[in-house]
Every structure is written in C-alpha cells, then in structure tokens.
Amino acid sequence: MKKLITTAALFLALAFNVKANDLPRKEYPRPQFEREDWINLNGTWTFDFDFGQSGVDRQLQNSEKFSKNIIVPFCPESELSGVKHTDFINCMWYQRKISIPAYWNGKKIFLNFGAVDYWCEIYIDGKKIQQHWGGSSSFAIDITRFVQAGNTHNLVIQVKDDLRGGKQTGGKQCTNFFSGGCSYTRVTGIWQTVWMEAVASEGLKDMVIRTDIDQKQLVATPSFYKESDNILEIILKDGDKVISKKQATCSNNTCIVLPVKNMKLWSPESPFLYELTYLVKDKSGKVLDKVESYTGMRKIHISDGIFYLNNQPYFQRLVLDQGYYPDGIWTAPSDEALKNDIILGKNAGFNGARLHQKVFEERYYYWADKLGYITWGESASWVMDVNDEIAARNFISEWSEIVVRDRNHPSLVTWTPFNETWGSRDGSYPRLIRDIYHMTKAMDSTRPINDASGDDHVLTDIWSVHNYEQDGKRLSEQLIFKEGEEPYRNSRDKKYLAVYEGQPYMVDEFGGIGWMAPEERKNSWGYGNLPQTEEEFYTRLQGQVEALKGAKHVMGFCYTQLTDVEQEKNGIYYYDRTPKFDMKRIKSIFELIPSSHTNLK
C-alpha cells in the first residue's frame, strides 16, 4: 500500500488541530483503486439525535455545530464512537467542516462514504446535495459545483434508520431492545470511512478486471468520467519487473488485453498478487490521473457438481464470520484487526470465510487477497421483508453497488445475496430472486451465485443447506444421496422453489457447538446441548467433520462460527478474539478434509 496520509490530509488535520496519525482508521479505504491525493475525514464530528424527525423543519441542515461529539467512522451504538447509545435511533444529524485544498482547483472533487446505515441526505452550506439508500454499500458524491478550492465549507448529513419497518436490510441487528438469540447490537449512521478525493475531469472512473488463466491474459475494461483522445496506459508488474504494458484511447468502448507470461496463480495456498498501475496521459505524455491497484490470476468455475479453483477441484473449508467487534460493533477498531481475523481463521484450519449478514469493508477483502483466504460475499438481508416490493426495489439498488465495488477481488469466489429466507412466499419473492440472479450475472459472470443460503432456492449455482445435527452418525445419514429422491434440504413444501439439479452441494452452516463458562449459560446459547467437557467438544466436532468428509456429494462446508458474538457463544474464539481451545487440535480436525479433497460421483 502507498502513503496513508497525504499532504492534503495533513493540511486538514492541522486545520482541525488533530494529529494525522491519531485519525481513526487512517488507511486508504479503497485498496484496489488507490489515488495518492485524498483527505481522510474520520475523527471528531458533532451530532445530535432527532427522534422526532423534525430536523428539517428546525433547519438543522444549516447548523454549524451540534451539541454532542462522535468519533467517525464508529456508529453511535459503539464504545469507540464515544457515544454508546444502544436504544433505537430513527434519525440523527452529523456535522463537520471540510477544507478544500487550493491546488484542487480545476479538478472533480468527490465526497466518498464507505457505508451509512441506512438512508442519508447530504448538505453542504445548507444546500441539499444528494440522498442515498443502502446501509452497506459504498457511494461517492461529486461535490465539485458546491465547493470552492481554497475554501472551508459546512458539511451536514441527515441519517434515518427504520430497522423494524421491513423495507431495508439490517442483517443481525436486533429488532428488540435487548440483543437476543442470534441478533445483536444495532448499527446506525456512518460506520465506515468518509473521505474526499480530487480527480482530473478526464480521470478513470472504474475498471473491470477479468483474469483469463486459460489464455494466460488479463482483460481490462475501463470507464472514464469524460471520454477523450487521451491515452490510458496499464502496467502489470511482478514486484519491480514489468510483465505487461498496454496503451489505448480513453474510451468507454475500450477493452485492453495484457498477456501474462510465466503466469503465477492466486490461491489460498499461494496468494500471489500482481501490481497494477493505471495512468491517464494527455498527448504530451503528462499524467492526468494515476491509480494503483492489484490483481490475482485465478479462475473459479463449477461443473458436474464440483467447485473448481484454477481448473482443479477445491474443497472449501469455510467459517462463518459475522464481523462484529465488542468495541466497534460493525466497524473493526483497526486495519490490523481485520487482518488478524483472517489469521485466526487460517490458524484454525479454514481456507476461507462466509462473510455473514454483513457487507465487509474493502480493507477486509484486501487482506483476504493478500493472505490467501477465499470469501463469500453476502448482503445484510435479514429484517427485510423479502415479499415486499418496496423492500425489493431498495435491495436491488444496494446489491448492485455491492457487486460493482467488490467484483475485482480474487479472494471473493461466491455471491450470496440472501440468507435463510424462510418467510418467503410465492409472487414477489421468486421474482426478486430471479432478478437478482440475472442482474448479478450481468455485472459479474465469473462467479457462482448462492441465491439464498440455507435453501428456499429459486435460481442458484450453489445448492446450500444448513444442518445443525449434532450427532455425527445422524448427520452422515442425513447427507446420503438416494436415487430418485432430493437430497437433504431445509425447504420442501413450497411449490415455487427449485429442485436440485446437480449443483455443487455445500453445507454452508453446521456445527455451532456452544462452549461457555457455567456462569454464562443462563443468558447465552449455542446449537444443541452443551458439551460437558472440552474433550466432548472435540469428539463431537470431529464426528461432524468426518460425516462431511464421508458424504459423497458435499463439496464444502461452513462452520458456525469464528468468534462468539455477544450472547451467542458458539465461536471457536471468544468475542475478544482469544482462543477457547487447543487451536492446533481444532486445526487438525477441520483439516481432516484437505482442500484438494473432492467426493467425485
């Protein structure tokens, strides 16, 4: 990664009497599309709650200071925000000043948000700029015509969050006052990094990368803020060695093919990453825009019920990771914490994670790419009524932003838009699933789609089921495929659902074995009856893994879960990330099924 704090960021930090190194989450938030000239807007903002939702009537959009302080990017429910208000927050307002460097004159200026839960409206100097729907998706706002280089402006953001209305995504946020079962503390407002960036008007807007290992080439499809007769140059490097270099006109019709000789493949076992540099140059050779990126040469495909990585059958040993933190809730306290969660998973014998009911920030994917850890990208679909047409409309726009943001990451191998849609009904639900499936394929045809984790499948590339049978022998019996019968599944009585047609069969939730101190058992839970001894835990876990290993058609599993989360005590690590067990023994159990293992029919 390049510089974390730029000259512009230092200027802004000094203006607000904040040391640049003290900024929370100071690293560049978009590591696959990184520019050097940016300003991190994390840190102290002012805010007020607006439970009566009367703020616009009271002209709060013109406020230059609110009565309370909050540390962005942490949500007000979290300890790290300095607020820790855990009751429902239906509306709140944020404020801070933003200073635009004088040398940004003549450039496009963007205000970027990692994520704001759920709806927000942005004002600059009292003028309404834009609205955004979607609690988990990143978005950028062009504020060029609302600000002036060399000036300071007043930024105000109104946030609304109707978690219990059924029209929005919420994931595992609890719709009751107290956390309970497998639902936890809520998240409201800004919960990922906010930053500004200056870009040439002819600059690069986006880049879609396809890694074609069969033809040993990388295919790059750019789009620009303004098409021109300037030149786009792409440089592919292995360390200091240039592997390939191509130039093309800055047109949205351009498709650039870079040959990759002596290709090094990406996998969890060997996570090699090539560096990429994108340069937009004028006719004299002057660089107008420079973006740093990277890629991993790898191929994902499915065939005859088998999942392939780089044309080899690959068994996915996944762990359920919900991405909750005791002090930050949905927001990792540091970049190192994101990295550490992946290291914990690898140390426990997993080769990847199903990122569950939360859209993880891009920095997590960066570390998964770098460390070698496959991931399943999932929405925060819970609490949304999947049968409601307005909810469907909201979901479509949010999911499309998620797919576009993350589709270049080599670690991401499966899209999972929904989870356990048990309350689905005929009508809007199957239509929504089909629309999401086809829309996702249009944006990214390179990955399989698991339409609804745990069944209620309508149109899917992966046949996923959830099975929390605790006894290994009974689990083995349930996973036997019988001629002329559908395999074990969670939903059978809904006529609009798909029937199994030979897709890769994955038990993408199992285990969930509770383990907790005796004094915690009254208000905590795990799946099944609790083991009485640590040895009983190991025996039960090994029995379940051996059942999966012996199941003829199972192509992968996902164990519930990486860490405890609040009252749910079925992690293999405690909520604070300390180990519960002998992790060498845990690792040996999960690795009873090697990555190269496949149960061929």
Summarised one tens digit per residue, pLDDT across range 473-487 is 999 999 999 988 999
Q: How confident is the model at residue 20, as a pLDDT?
A: 58
pLDDT greater than 70 at residue 598: no
Ordered by start, the domain boundaries in the chain are 7-199, 214-295, 309-590
Q: Quick one: tokens of 494? A: 């809904």
The proportion of the chain whose per-residue pLDDT surpasses 70, expressed as a percent, equals: 96
pLDDT score of 359 more than 60: yes
CA–CA distance, 93 with 74 (Å, rounded to integer): 14
The CA-based angle 440-445-446, given to 5 degrees, is: 120
pLDDT of residue 21: 67
pLDDT tens digits along 323-350: 999 999 999 999 999 999 999 999 999 9
Residue-level length of the chain: 601
Give helix 583-590 / helix 534-550 axis angle, nearest 10°.
Answer: 20
Strand order across the 91-99 sheet: 68-72, 43-49, 91-99, 152-160, 119-124, 127-133
Residue 524 has what DSSP assignment? -
**For position 429, what pLDDT does the model report?**
97
Specify the CATH number for 214-295; select among 2.40.50.140, 2.60.40.10, 3.30.565.10, 1.10.40.30.
Answer: 2.60.40.10
What CATH number does domain 7-199 carry, 3.90.1170.40, 2.60.120.260, 3.40.50.700, 1.10.10.10? 2.60.120.260
pLDDT at 22: 83
- Cα atoms in the Cβ-side hemisphere of radius 13 Å centred on 324: 29
**Backbone torsions φ then ψ of 548, nearest 5 degrees:** -70, -40
Per-residue pLDDT band at 35 (split at 50, 70, 90): very high
Render pLDDT for 576-585 as a digit per residue (tens, 0 to 9).
Answer: 999 999 999 9
- Whether 292 shows a pLDDT value over 80: the answer reads yes
- Quickly name the fold that domain 309-590 has: TIM Barrel (3.20.20)
Full-model pTM: 0.95
Residue 521 has a pLDDT of 81
Provide the β-strand partners of residue 33.
none
Predicted local distance difference test score (pLDDT) of residue 5: 46
Half-sphere exposure of 26 (CA within 13 A, CB side): 15
Beta strand segments in 165-230, E? 189-190, 194-199, 204-212, 217-224
Residue 405: half-sphere exposure toward Cβ, Cα within 13 Å? 29
Long-range contacts of 19-25 (CB under 8 A, 24+ apart): 24/71, 24/72, 24/73, 24/74, 24/80, 25/73, 25/193, 25/331, 25/332, 25/334, 25/335
